[in-house]
Amino acid sequence: MLRKILAVLYTALAIGANAALAGPALAGDVADLREGDMKKLALHAEPVAVPDGVFLDAADAEVPLAQWRGQWVVLNFWATWCAPCRKEMPSLLRLQQAMPEIAVLPVATGRNAVEGIERFYEEAGVQALPILRDPRSDFARPMAVMGLPVTVILNPEGQEVGRLIGDAEWDSAHAQTIIRALMAGNAQ
C-alpha cells in the first residue's frame, strides 16, 4: 500500500508541474488515496464557489476569509459543545504544525462564548490556532453546514475542492498525502 501511495504521490508531483495535464483524470488518483478517516472526504470534480465570509476574532474584530486567498485552507466548522469537534481539534493543530504552508482555520459556529473557546483551546493545548467565530452562522448557512464538525478544503482561489462531514485525524499520513496531492494541482 505504501508503494501505491508513493507512486501516486510521485505521479501527482511530476504532473503537477504541467497544469495542462492536471485535469479530472487524476481526480480518481487522489480519491484512491482516501483511507481511514479520509474515506469520508468528498472530492469535487470541479472547484465549487464559496461565498464571501467574514468572521469575528476574539476581540470582535472582523476577519475576512479573503485574507487567506492565495493559500490552501483547511476550514473547520466546530463548536465548543460538540464532542467530536473537541476530539479532532488537536489533530488540526498538528496538521498546521506539520504543514505550515497551509492555513488551518477553525471557525466556531453558532453560540460559542469567547471565554469558552479560550478555555477549550488552553485545555486542548491548541492556542496556536486562531480564534475565529461565526456567531449567527452567517457563513455556515450558505456553506450548507448542517451539523458539526464539517471541514472544507479550499484552493488558493478560495474555491471548495473537498469536504469532510464528521471528525477526522487531520494530521494522519493519509490526510497529509491527500492535501499535498491536491496542492500539487492534481485533483482538478
Regarding pTM above 0.95, the answer is no
Task: Quote the cell numbers at residue 152.
Answer: 472544507
Distance, CA of 77 to CA of 112 (rounded, Å):
12
End-to-end CA distance of the chain: 24
108-130 as b/e, with b when 16 or more CB fall inside 10 Å? bbbebebeebeebbeeeebeebb
pLDDT tens digits, one per residue of 65-77: 999 999 999 999 9
Cell of 117: 473557546
Q: Say how many CA atoms lie within 13 Å of 13 toward its Cβ.
A: 8
For residue 8, which phi and psi values (nearest 5 degrees)? Answer: -65, -45
Q: What is the pLDDT of residue 125?
A: 95
The grid cell for 64 is: 475576512
Please tell me what DSSP assigns to residue 133: E
pLDDT of amino acid 36: 86
With CA atoms as reference, report the closest residue to 129 among 179, 167, 171.
Answer: 171
Which CATH number, 3.40.50.300, 2.60.120.10, 3.30.70.420, 3.40.30.10, labels domain 40-171? 3.40.30.10
Query: Grid coordinates representing 35?
Result: 483511507
Tell me the β-bridge partners of 150. Answer: 77, 165
Task: Give mean pLDDT in consecutive 10-residue pieces for the chain, a chain of 188 residues.
Answer: 36 30 48 89 96 97 98 98 97 98 98 97 96 98 97 98 97 96 74
CA distances from 7 to 35, 134, 176, 180 (A): 16, 41, 15, 14
